Amino acid sequence: MIAAHLSILQVVLPLTAAPLCLLARREVFAWWVSLAAAWMILVNAVLLLDRVVLLGPIGYDLGGWAAPLGIVYHVDALNGMMLLLISATAAILLPYARRSVLREIGSERAALFYAALLLCMTGLMGMTATGDAFNVFVFLEISSLSTYALIALGQDRRALTAAFQYLIMGTLGGTFILISIGFLYAATGTLNMADLAARLPLAENQRAVQTAFAFFIVGISLKLALFPLHLWLPNAYAYAPSVVTIFLAATATKVAVYVMLRFTFDLFGAHHAFAGVTLARVFPILAGLGIILASLTALYQDHVKRRFAYSSVAQIGYIVLGIALMTPSGLTAGLLHIINHALAKGALFMALGCLYFRLGSMSMSALAGAAREMPLSAAAFVIAGFSLIGVPLTAGFISKWYLLLASLEHGQWLLAVIIVGGSLLALAYVWQVIEQLYFHEPPEGRPSVTEAPSSLLIPTWILVVANVYLGIDSSLTVNLADQGMRALLEAQP
Amino acid sequence: MNVLAHYPYWIIILLMMAGFYMLIAHGNLILKIIGLNIFQTSVFFLYILLGKVEGGTAPILEAGFTIYSNPLPHVLILTAIVVGIATTALAAALIVRIHGAYGSIEEDDIHRQDASL
């Protein structure tokens, strides 16, 4: 019986848990509620994906109102995979969050923090699960508004300006998407995604639809931080609390990529001349420039979280690169990189969170020699860094390899060179940090520190081991990405 | 005259660009938020305009009226207005905190104090 409601539970569970946290106001209670919610949605997401893979896409009519009039949820292998990614990140992150939040945010405001985090999860889940175009906008704003609040909770005062910057750019992006949805409604008279997919091909030469596409692609590129619309991201990631950085880096931009995929491939249709040209001609250039320039910028960052925030911009470039090839192998590679980059960046920011927990600073000089006193955190950083670079036997290697094969198969030698070049730059910016950690003397007068607490280390190492395991046996992730790619292409009009 | 017949759209475009310009050109954070609000309001107008049916009344069943405006875009935009209010409130709260931390709400002053932004 409950099985029929799996797709809506995915959104309703965190949505109900959030006000509970607010009402209780006690840190202990709020944490337990969030933890319970996160683990329940993880179980839920696994059950959901299992059903979807076995039995095909699941639809759900909200309030019993049937499809074209009511709002529907529609889960297939692609968004099932994304839901699993978000819930797994949340489930691993929450045990880690307790100590980190107590240290960085304090017990008085912790309940508010968990409420905002749950709302952010709700928004991301909703954007992913829904089958209604306007609903995407509503959930996008739920996740964005809670993200601005979460970023502003950072200890540094620069967190406030970073949150404000993101608020301005995020709202612009959101409003652009709203304009786009308005034009789509004007051209087709429907907001249901399946209906839109059926009607848009008939209206594809209308100026309104082309305008809608232009607004949509700019708006969503802002949200997914595609170069050169990435300016909000480095500061937001750098100054947000550790837990927020981990969660955002692993999920937020990926969900925006998912929305872009769904709209461009299933709604507008990639065969649509206008959408096709943008994807095939413009996106590879932006993605390539993003990979090279963001990686180069990362080399010169002294703030370590900011350094890896720039790396995130570069990695978004890899994902978009795979998608812009528009071949099945390119899409699989892009989707695979969504999963593997979430694993690598999640583990990496978790390791940095462990170091920050004891060292209290994220500047390069503060990390000097820390590997002696915090060997486990430093080792976790090294392995996660290798996965980010794409060293063989780590998850990052698998997706870069698929990307490389996909671009060669497409005859794109230049893109292949960029992929390899970006990895070399990644090697450089990861190595600089490793060198600080292992081969430099600790700064004079730093009080001696101990290893991070096990509640931080265990979740970190779970992700690190996952990076290695999925780098050796990649059948699970490749299979998920492959199913997702098929679901995307099958739904195409 | 086709251009003049679409005058409501011209008003919307004008508002949108005015808001957008204000958002980019001003260094004062409050003025930026006002610009953002004007920008969003122009989109509200766009939606309301989409639902307008010439000669139509409010969609309430009443004898003697047969043409109604489309209520759906109006309902949609109610949601977007709520989102706009939430954004403005959050932005105002952030500005209060920024003023507390930097003693200024001018972008230039803030940049001078924190060069990395």
A72: β partners: A61
Q: Which residue in the set B43, B73, B95 is minimally distant from A175, CB to CB?
A: B43
Mutual orientation of helices A77-104 and A328-359 as an angle, nearest 10°? 10
Query: A193 and A262 in contact (C-beta within 8 Å)?
Result: yes
Q: Does A39 touch chain B (CB under 8 A)?
A: no
Under DSSP, the state recorded for A264 is I
Q: Does A182 touch chain B (CB under 8 A)?
A: yes
Chain A environment of B9 (Cβ under 8 Å): none
Query: A478 and A336 in contact (C-beta within 8 Å)?
Result: yes
- The kind and range of the H/E element at B37 are helix B29-51
Global ipTM? 0.93
Task: Report the C-alpha gap between B76 and B84 in whole angstroms.
Answer: 13
Backbone angles phi, psi at A354, to 5 degrees: -60, -45
Task: Report the C-alpha gap between A224 and A309 in whole angstroms.
Answer: 13
Task: Report the C-alpha gap between B75 and B38 in whole angstroms.
Answer: 20
Q: Which amino acid is at B45?
A: F
pTM higher than 0.90 for the full model? yes
Contact B94 A167 (CB under 8 A): yes
Alpha helix positions (H), A249-368: 253-261, 273-277, 283-299, 304-324, 328-359, 364-367
Report strand pairing: A72-75 vs A58-61.
antiparallel
Contact A157 B79 (CB under 8 A): no
Query: A45 and A149 in contact (C-beta within 8 Å)?
Result: no
Contact A167 B98 (CB under 8 A): no
Q: Does A112 touch chain B (CB under 8 A)?
A: no
Q: Is the torsion defined by CA of B103, B104, B105, B107 positive or negative?
A: negative
> How far is the alpha carbon of B42 from chain A, nearest alpha carbon, in Å?
10
Chain B environment of A152 (Cβ under 8 Å): 94, 97
In terms of Cα–Cα distance, which of A299, A331, A332, A292 is closest to A315? A292
Burial A374-390 (b: 16+ CB within 10 A, else e): bebbbbbbbbbbbbbbb
Each of the 493 residues of chain A gets a pLDDT tens digit; together they read 567 788 888 899 999 999 998 888 888 899 999 999 999 999 999 999 988 888 888 888 888 888 778 888 989 889 899 999 999 999 999 999 998 888 888 888 889 999 999 999 999 999 999 989 999 999 999 999 999 999 999 888 889 999 999 999 999 999 999 999 999 998 888 888 888 888 888 877 788 888 888 899 999 999 999 888 888 999 999 999 999 999 999 999 999 999 999 998 888 876 666 667 777 888 889 999 999 999 999 999 989 999 999 999 999 999 999 988 888 898 999 999 999 999 999 999 999 999 999 888 888 888 888 888 888 999 999 999 999 998 889 988 999 999 999 999 888 888 899 999 999 999 999 999 999 889 888 887 777 888 888 888 999 999 999 999 988 888 888 888 888 888 888 876 5
Chain position carrying tokens 């232009």: A214
Backbone angles phi, psi at A302, to 5 degrees: -85, -35
Chain B residue closest in CA terms to A147: B90
Task: Report the C-alpha gap between B35 and B84 in whole angstroms.
Answer: 12
